Structure 1
Amino acid sequence: MIKIKAQIEQMFAAFKEINPNARKILLFEPLFAIPYSMFIIYSSIYMTRMGVKDYQIGLLSTILNLMMLVTSPFAGLLVNRFGRKKVLLIGDFISWCLYSYIFFVAKNFEWFLIATLFNGLMRIPELAWRLLLMEDATENERVAIYSVTVFVWNVGSLFAPLMGLLVAKFGLIVATKSVVLIFGILVNVLIVVRHLVTEESSVGQKLVEENNNSDNHKFSEWLDSAKYMLKNKDLLLIVLVVIFGNIALIFRDTYKNIYLSEGLKYPDDIISVFPTLWSVVTVVFIVFFMPKLKDKNHDKMLFWGMLLVTISNTLILIAKPGIFGFLLMIVSTILASIGATIYYSFADAILANSVDDQRRAHVFSISMFLMSLFSMPIGAIAGQCYSFSKLLPFGLAAFFTLLCTILMYKKVRRTEGFSLKES
């Protein structure tokens, strides 16, 4: 008990030491994380209950990625031109508040399509959010910031069982509609309060002043950053890992809950057990283990994270309906939660630390553009794959996480050699 108390105190101490903007942003993030974590569990199942076909779920995912693809190149330009705070305020209202309100009243595929188009603008405020979060922080601080970010999000996900209870009591449709409306209202509150209490980052202030007095906001700067990224092998490799990791995420998560319902025959209210377990394991891992890992070699930690996710995706392939399959899914969830925690804590930190202040917004923008470019057809492909074989999307997810694992292994081996003892 004393050790647990000491670890929790250490976690809160780390939270207090991160830069003020990150601390304030993360303090209010549960207003987004809690209702979103509840709503997203059943969103795809909800759409099918509203008449959306299985293949149309994949089509909506593709359209979402197309919108993110089109808007990503403008994200870096906008945040440097108008500042991180202003872009975050307006962008979050359009891409999340309007999205949730339209989703609430949606009755068919066309309504969900309109909601998806608004949601597809999320890359612009996402970049502003990421920059406000980690600019003005040291390199070591960034791992701590992203770890606390993962912690906050997973604390929010601990409310997933509440969604299961709501579904059991009121039915999936009523429960989902209610939670998505609450989500929209809370995000409205969040974006206003966050805008009032945060400050523009020093890098953001400098770039806004420069862009107001010059033509640097044009695409030439974006293209220069793209050339810089192509010449920097280590930076390019991390971007590839982020891209392939995102592709794997789409293959796995687009149909995972539908598969749990249709393939493994789990009742609707049982499905929320898995995100809850995920969050509990993540919170425990961050409190007790992440403080010991943040000072380790970042590349090696990312390798181990991707390896755990690969094993987790593989276990989904061999799970069958019944008790043994349920236990395999429990193990898969535990491994995935640990691996994903490591991945999200270290991947963004490595990417941020690989770029200077002047280029960071554009490099992040380019990475998001490439993510959307390569991910754009994946939703539709996943839909066709799921129609052909319910296990195929998860096999492809395992393939892409394995590819990330191999890339990180080669990077570590090339730069300084690989040793289990040093990891």
Structure 2
Amino acid sequence: MHRSRNPMITTLLSLRGNGRASVYTEPMWGLSMMLVLPYASVFMLALGVHDAQIGLLATISMLSQVVFGLLSGVITDKLGRRRTTALFDVIAWVIPCLVWAFAQNFWWFLIASVINGAWQVTQNSWDCLLVEDVDRAEIPKVYSLVKVAAEFSALFAPIAALLVANLGLELAVRILYLNAFLIMAVKIWLLYRFTTETATGRLRMEQTRGVSIWRSLWEYRSVLGLIVRSKGTIFSLGISAIVGAVTLVNGTFWQIVINQRLGVPDALLPFFPMVRSLLSVLFFFTLIPLLTHARHLKAPTLIGFGVYLAGQLLLVAIPSPDGAAAVSTYLLLAVCLLLDAFGAGILFMLAESLVALHVDRNERSRVMAIQRTAVMLVTAPFGWISGWLSGMDRTWPFLLTSALLVLGLVVAGRFWVTTHEETQDAAT
């Protein structure tokens, strides 16, 4: 009797070309940036950067991303998906890693944040490289695989914990940033080596040859009209903005609240994203495919917002211990990780998939550039706001994210717009 294979595994094994190269190189994040990200905010605190300044850096980084995001569509069309990805990955990750490795104060982090904003260009070009030659029906599974690949990277977290335990926080983090500099350079080369320019990319390069960047930016007017006239595009933009704001706040202050308020020691910090990531991988191979295998994505989106909301509220409710974290603290944090792993995982996949499913195929790079710019403009203030809130009470940023997730429930429940696949399925 033939046993059916897990759809995620089927997609993973059947990937070819750019999709395979993009997905298969993603785990290298685990040996580079994912080793150091759990310590990024705590490292800044150790160097004398305050909560409000950390929040300000998050906002400045987002504003930098706005500028690069606006230019990303033009650059991606002019240089091509493949070349843009390689060039701007170097600018956005390799160079800032050196700055972070030798950082001394707020100003070093400010410079790195501004340069790092260039990752919005490569996010656009990489997305196009990933999905333009992939069957539309496979897009949600491909984004799930991307998320799984990133989550698997957390398996390397004990390396960072050992370094911090033996060398101390500051020296260990500097070494981890230098390691990220080297690994990211290798990842960029491998992706460039094993990809080719997409068919749409070659067409757009030909169409924009001899056209100045300023003229291309001026032509955004017609693309803006495509977005404004598309209810689906506007809806997916709103979902992305909410998810993006929650991700920004959590990525900046989650480690700080468990370290400074709940008494979790420095050496244990990377184990929390590791556990969250492993749980997320488990969900992506079990529960999430069951919820998202159909073409109708409204119910799983609502479930994702609801579960993520429960995790944020529980984090706020955990009592602050006297001194080091108690056993009960770790048990409650474990439940938070369980809820966050499912909620954040499914919402990331759905937010990215909804954008890709609603976008105009022929104008993908420019439409996605404008969408990301709009999303970043909306989410940028939340870095500064959450830093200001954290300076008064370290649980308050998560009351803010809870309010945003409630808004997400309302938007998804009240204003849902069906995708092309859902419409075709209903007609059938």
TM-score w.r.t. the length of structure 1 is: 0.92
**Displacement, 1:363?**
1.7
The Cα offsets for residues 152-195 of structure 1, whole Å up to 9 and x where unpaired, read as 00100122232222211221112111111011111111112211
Match of 1:315 in 2: 314
The answer as to whether partners of 2:98 and 2:178 remain within 8 angstroms in 1 is yes
Note if 1:374 corresponds to 2:378: yes
> Which secondary structure state, in structure 2, belongs to the residue aligned with residue 206 of structure 1?
helix
Q: Is 1:33 aligned to residue 30 of structure 2?
A: yes
Partner of 2:425: none
Cα distance in 1 between the residues matched to 2:349 and 2:56? 30
Q: Is the 8 A contact 1:75 1:127 kept in 2?
A: yes
Aligned counterparts of 1:227 and 1:33: Cα–Cα separation in 2:
40
Q: CA deviation at 1:343?
A: 1.2
Q: Does 1:338 align with 2:335?
A: no
Partners of 1:319 and 1:326 within 8 A in 2: no
1:232 counterpart (230, 233, 239): 230
- Structure 1 residue aligned with 2:252, among 251, 254, 263? 254
Q: Write the distance in 1 (CA, Å) between the matches of 2:248 and 2:160.
A: 23
Mind listing any 5+ residue stretches in structure 2 that lack a counterpart? Answer: 420-428
Code of the aligned partner of 2:33: Y
Matching of residues 137-152 of structure 1 within 5 Å: 137-152=134-149
**Deviation, structure 1 residue 214:** 5.5
Name the counterpart of 2:396: 392
Contact 1:300 1:412 in 2 (8 A): no
Matches for 1:76-155 after TM superposition, within 5 Å: 76-155=73-152
Aligned equivalent of 1:212: 209
What is the match of residue 402 of structure 1? 406
Contact between 1:222 and 1:362, CA under 8 Å: does it hold in 2?
yes
CA separation of 1:215 and 1:112: change in aligned 2, threshold 3 A = closer
Counting matched residue pairs gives 411
Q: After superposition, what is the alpha-carbon deviation per residue over 1:63-104, rounded to whole angstroms, capped at 9, x for unaligned?
A: 101101122111001111111111111101011000001111
Per-residue CA deviation, residues 339-378 of structure 1 (Å, 9 max, x unaligned), is 1221122221121111222221112111210122122222
**What's the CA shift for 1:111?**
1.4
| Structure 1 alignment gaps of length 5 or more | 416-423
% identical equivalent positions: 25
Moved more, 21-30 or 290-299: 290-299
Q: Hey, what's the Cα distance between the residues in 1 that align with 2:385 and 2:94?
A: 29
Q: Return 160-169 or 123-132, whichever deviates more.
A: 160-169
- Distance in 2 between residues matched to 1:35 and 1:270, nearest whole Å: 18
Distance of 1:7 and 1:136 partners within structure 2: 24
Q: CA deviation at 1:294?
A: 3.5
Shift in Å, 1:138: 1.7
Is 1:245 matched up with 2:243?
A: yes
Per the alignment, in what secondary structure is the counterpart of residue 212 of structure 1?
A: coil
Shift of 1:6: 7.5
SS at match of 1:266: coil
> Which residue pairs with 2:273 in the alignment?
275
How far apart are residue 204 of structure 1 and its match? 0.7
What TM-score does the superposition give when structure 2 sets the normalisation length? Answer: 0.91
Letter in 1 for 2:28: L
- Give the whole-Å Cα distance in 2 for the aligned partners of 1:399 and 1:7: 40
Amino acid of the structure 2 residue aligned with 1:70: V
Measure the CA separation in 2 of the matches of 1:215 and 1:268.
50
Distance in 1 separating the partners of 2:128 and 2:61: 22
**CA distance change for structure 1 residues 15 and 394 in 2, over 3 Å: closer, same or farther?**
same
